[in-house]
Amino acid sequence: MTSELSIRGLRKSFAGRPVLSGVDLDVHAGEFVAVLGANGSGKSTVLRCAVGLQTPDAGTISLAGDRAAMVFQQIHLVRRRTALDNVCAGALGRLPLHRSLAPALFPAALRAEAMACLDRVGLAGQAGDLAGKLSGGQQQRVAIARALCQRAKVILADEPVSALDPSAAEQVVSLLASLAGEGLAVAAVLHQPDLARRHAGRIVGLHEGRIVLDGPPPAIRESDLDVLYGHESRTPHPVAQSSGA
């Protein structure tokens, strides 16, 4: 398995308080990793460092491709633009400036690519709808299509379903799993262990800035999750790293 994202010895402190204390994590092509952990355990900081939104104090982050794309809980679409225009925005960084200034100037090839991305998330039929008129789940799928339009091989999603109802959440997590099935490397911070168990190939648990669980869902015991979320005082029993790391 190819490691598309490789994190080694990641450390980060805020105002002298350690938040990450040496995180090692690989995410491979074709893999959907769910990152679980209590509030404040450092999950978002790992993803934000991986995508370059935070600067680590120490450690290395290696990407096989040239970038990772990020999907957030706050979806950040331009509500008054169509779904298609929003997806095109994922490609703005690689357009010449004069082509990027307004949607009417976007090249036809980009529109076609954005359409294909919308099709991958099951929303080709909503391409012309204003983003602000779509449901929350549809908006998150548009944001995922926008990430696909960045042509990244790694998609990192930070609580992508925390604001969605259970049915939309299921759909979005299932979509992330299917994109991994197409060969992308996908990691998502989730606060829903049941969704992680149903859809992820691997669960990684963070506790006080360290990875303390790492394995396929059947290897993760309920008691391990209890410890992760602070229902028990002992540290979780570590699970062996999945193959290929």
Ligand X SMILES: Nc1ncnc2c1ncn2[C@@H]1O[C@H](COP(=O)(O)OP(=O)(O)OP(=O)(O)O)[C@@H](O)[C@H]1O
What minimum distance in Å lies between the beta carbon of 159 and ligand X?
6
Phi, psi of 212 (to 5 degrees): -115, -10
Q: Which helix (H) or strand (E) holds 13?
A: strand 3-14
Output 39 or 243, the one with its CB closest to ligand X: 39
> Is position 230 an interface residue for ligand X (rule: CB under 6 A)?
no
Cα separation, 48 vs 71, in Å, equals 11
Phi, psi of 122 (to 5 degrees): 80, 25
What minimum distance in Å lies between the beta carbon of 11 and ligand X?
13
What minimum distance in Å lies between the beta carbon of 15 and ligand X?
6
Q: Which pairing describes strands 58-63 and 3-14: parallel, antiparallel, or unpaired? A: antiparallel
Which two tokens mark 177? 């799993």
Tell me which of 14, 62, 232, 237 binds ligand X, using CB under 6 A: 14
What minimum distance in Å lies between the beta carbon of 44 and ligand X?
3
Phi, psi of 186 (to 5 degrees): -125, 130
Output 6 or 21, the one with its CB closest to ligand X: 21
Q: Which pairing describes strands 210-215 and 202-207: parallel, antiparallel, or unpaired? A: antiparallel
Nearest to 86 by CA among 117, 50, 49, 47: 117
Q: Which helix (H) or strand (E) holds 50?
A: helix 43-51
Output 127 or 164, the one with its CB closest to ligand X: 164
Output 30 or 209, the one with its CB closest to ligand X: 209
What minimum distance in Å lies between the beta carbon of 162 and ligand X?
9
What minimum distance in Å lies between the beta carbon of 42 and ligand X?
4
Output 37 or 90, the one with its CB closest to ligand X: 37
Q: Contacts with ligand X in 158-177 (CB under 6 A)?
A: none
Cα separation, 71 vs 31, in Å, equals 17
Output 13 or 223, the one with its CB closest to ligand X: 13
Q: Contacts with ligand X in 19-78 (CB under 6 A)?
A: 19, 37, 39-45
Task: Give yes or no for a contact between 89 and 146, defined as CB atoms under 8 angstroms apart.
Answer: yes
Binding site for ligand X (CB under 6 A): 14, 19, 37, 39-45
